[in-house]
């Protein structure tokens, strides 16, 4: 979370194993995340960071990231943005936004090995 740069998404309970489903046969990952508060202004950015990290680590998988139902006031609007492939691609091509996402992901990697996170969810 960009507002809590010294804490991981797992520590904030934004991402939890019970909200992640993986289909190895179809190469599909579905992640629900829970914003820290119902009106969190960083929810779209958090979703893009999760999507970007998974896409970078697991490029052969199709990634779907959504807000956990009932956990945000603008759940439907944000889920619509995160489900729109063109919007996500355009966002990840923008220099300023990509810089912010990269900074968030760099903080993530500083906290732990990238392989620990992947191994925990894929095994």
pLDDT tens, 72-84?
A: 999 999 999 999 9
Q: Specify the range with the lowest mean pLDDT, choosing from 43-47, 56-60, 114-118.
A: 114-118
Indicate whether 28 belongs to any domain.
Answer: yes
Q: Is residue 110 part of a domain?
A: yes
Instruction: Tell me if 1 is assigned to some domain.
Output: no
Report yes or no on 3 lying in a domain: no
Residue with tokens 């950015």: 45
- Determine, yes or no, domain membership for 85: yes
Q: Provide the residue range defining the domain that includes 91.
A: 9-120
| Number of domains observed in the structure of the chain | 1
pLDDT at position 111 over 50: no
* Residue 50 belongs to domain with CATH number: 3.30.300
The model's pTM: 0.80
pLDDT at 114 over 50: no
| Average pLDDT value for residue range 49-72 | 93
Q: Which pLDDT does position 107 carry in this prediction? A: 54
By C-alpha distance, which of 79, 44, 46, 75 is closest to 64? 79
Q: Could you tell me which of 84, 57, 82, 49 has the C-alpha nearest to residue 67? A: 82
The answer to whether the beta carbons of residues 31 and 15 sit under 8 Å apart is yes
**Residue 2 placed within a domain:** no
Bridge partners, residue 62, by sequence: 28
pLDDT, tens digit (0-9, with 9 covering 90-100), for 3-41: 555 677 777 888 889 999 999 999 999 999 999 899 999
């Amino acid at each position: 979370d960009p507002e809590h740069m010294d804490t991981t998404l797992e520590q904030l309970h934004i991402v939890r194993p019970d909200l992640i489903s993986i289909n190895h046969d179809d190469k599909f990952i579905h992640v629900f995340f829970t914003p820290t508060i119902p009106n969190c202004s960083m929810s779209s950015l958090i979703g893009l960071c999760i999507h970007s990290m998974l896409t970078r680590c697991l490029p052969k998988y199709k990634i779907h990231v959504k807000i956990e139902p009932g956990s945000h006031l603008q759940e439907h609007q944000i889920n619509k943005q995160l489900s729109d492939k063109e919007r996500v691609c355009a966002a990840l091509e923008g220099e300023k936004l990509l810089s912010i996402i990269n900074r968030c992901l760099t903080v993530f990697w500083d906290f732990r090995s990238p392989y620990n996170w992947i191994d925990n969810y894929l095994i």
